[in-house]
Structure 1
Amino acid sequence: MHQLTEFTSRDDLDNQLANTVSDILAKAIKETGKASIAVSGGSTPKGFFSVLSQSDLDWSKVTITLADERWVPIDSDASNTRLVHENLLQNKAEKAKFFHLKQGNELTDETLADLNVAASKTLLPLDVLILGMGEDGHTASLFPCSDEITSGLDESNDDVLLKVQPKTAPHQRISFTFASLITSKNIFLHSCGEGKKTVLTQALNGDDPFEMPIRAFLQHPSLNTQIFWAP
């Protein structure tokens, strides 16, 4: 299931989302002594990252990771890791820990197995998951065009992470599986622009997650995905 909140400006959205996430992380730290959050890449979350980075939290107890990452050098413009370091791991949030999905030069089966174990122990269940959405309805690196989409959306999949090779986008990827992401305690979809509103409407009006993987999060009966949208 889902709940849609529309904002009049991206600044308003960024501030509200940052305040909401900050409160969740603070509560998790108070209750368990730690907190974890997975964020998404792209240009949409930059403003949100900037506001969140200035939140008054004990950031040393927060672990940040990515919902997915391209297997590219960390200094590449295509690197989500670089995006997070330059926009979120700043100001007060520079004290946070970062769990790297991109480790080593090649995404071997051995590397993937090691990352699966480490992510399961360190991150799950995530306190906060911030998803994005592509024009094709993909989220994280769960692409409708990929051969891996069946295992990626399999709710019974025991793997936390999987390798993905999209057919309509460059670069090999590593992505959290749907099965691991739905264990998150709080799930948000952060989306901006009229184009994405059209995609969102299409996603909400259909029921095939293999056509638009974001539907798996929006229509799952046990989830309450919070949609934050601004023009």
Structure 2
Amino acid sequence: MHQPPSAPILNSFPSANELVESLAAFIVKLQKDSIDKKGRFTVAISGGSLPKQLKGLIGNASVKWDKWQVFYADERAVPLDHPDSNHKLCFDELFSKVPIPSTNIHTLDPSFIEDLEELSDHYEKELIREFAQKDSARFPVFDLILLGIGPDGHTASLFPGHELLAEEDRWVAYIEDSPKPPPKRITLTYPVINHAAQVAFVATGEGKVDMLSNILDKPEEGLPASRVKPVYPGQLYWFVDDAASAKVQYPRTPFRL
């Protein structure tokens, strides 16, 4: 019998700096557990404001960058050095400042950006190479997926009312009509996100206050971020600051490792 998803754990911090430090400590602990267990740490990262929240990893001697395998939770169909590229954003904010081997960062193949089906298929093959030969699971099981939320409640490139919300088979899907530019993107699907061992949303600032309340207090509204429900024994965490959680009624959990 399938176990129901565990309830999300909401960690709210008085300041953005405390959030950054605690998020880094959380990631380092997951990394250690994963490396001890299987010799690697698999992570998927979104773009937006999220990469800036990972600065607590820079210069952190506990981070074993050579053991990380990094994928993108979603990516825009643009060259890797384009201002809209999530990879460029993550590279500028984080990866250019740490000793991670470039081969451990799995980018989209820019030669396919004109053909979204080929682009998403190629990225799915990257996932298969990393996961299918090492884990015998229907879907890849990331150690950690890090996500943000948009003002409309979207996460990754899963947007309200879009047909991709119902995707149940593909690991990577493409979208040609994103309501937020650029319109052409690829994204991990819910089956992949919800099979992760740990998923963490990061949201800061009073600009997120109404949306955060909607997602956590009214999950029945079915916003894309509300549909992130890791299957048991996976766990969903929220790392937010008090400005973002000011209207949330959902119970907070004191942060502890």
**TM-score bracket for the superposition, by shorter chain length:** 0.7 to 0.9
- Tell me the secondary structure at the aligned position of residue 224 of structure 2: coil
Does the CA-based 8 Å contact 1:2-1:219 persist in structure 2?
no
Question: Structure 2: any 5+ residue segments left out of the alignment?
Answer: 1-6, 132-139, 244-257
Q: Is the 8 A contact 1:53 1:93 kept in 2?
A: no
1:136 paired with 2:152, answer yes
> CA offset at residue 72 of structure 1?
1.4
Shift of residue 143, structure 1, vs aligned partner:
0.6
Conserved 8 A contact 1:29-1:35: yes
Report the Cα offset of residue 220 of structure 1. Answer: 7.1
Q: 1:76 to 1:111 in 2, by over 3 A?
A: closer
Which structure 2 residues correspond to residues 210-225 of structure 1 after superposition, within 5 A? Answer: 211-217=222-228, 223-225=234-236
Q: Any idea what the Cα deviations from partners look like across 1:101-145, whole Å, max 9, x if unmatched?
A: 353232342332232132133153111111100111100100114
- What's the CA shift string for 1:144-203, capped at 9, x where partnerless? 14343322xxxxx22110001345211211000000111111110100012212101112
Q: Is 2:163 the counterpart of 1:163?
A: no
Which residue is 1:49 aligned to?
A: 54
Contact 1:55 1:92 (C-alpha < 8 Å) held by counterparts: no
Question: How much does 1:219 deviate?
Answer: 8.9
Instruction: Using the TM superposition, give the Cα deviation of residue 93 of structure 1 relative to its aligned residue in structure 2, in angstroms.
Output: 3.9
Q: CA deviation at 1:30?
A: 1.9
- Which TM-score applies when normalising by structure 2? 0.79
Tell me, yes or no, if structure 1 residue 191 matches structure 2 residue 198: no
TM-score, length-normalised on structure 1?
0.87
The amino acid of 2:46's aligned partner reads: S
Q: Is residue 113 of structure 1 aligned with residue 129 of structure 2?
A: no
Q: CA RMSD in A?
A: 2.2
Tell me, yes or no, if structure 1 residue 146 matches structure 2 residue 162.
yes
Contact in 1 for aligned 2:23/2:54 (Cα 8 Å): no
Check the 8 A contact 2:193/2:230 in 1, yes or no: no
190, 206, 227: which is aligned to 2:238? Answer: 227
Give percent identity, aligned residues only: 26
Residue 63 (structure 1) shift: 0.9
- Distance between the aligned counterparts of 1:94 and 1:12, measured in 2? 25
Matches within 5 A, 1:59-78: 59-78=65-84
How many residues end up aligned between the 2 structures? Answer: 224
Distance (Å, rounded) in 2 between the aligned partners of 1:64 and 1:21? 13
Question: Structure 1 residues 184, 83: closer, same or farther in 2, change over 3 A?
Answer: same
Unaligned runs of 5+ in 1: 152-156
2:153, 2:101 → 1: CA distance? 34
Aligned partner of residue 6 in structure 1, secondary structure: strand
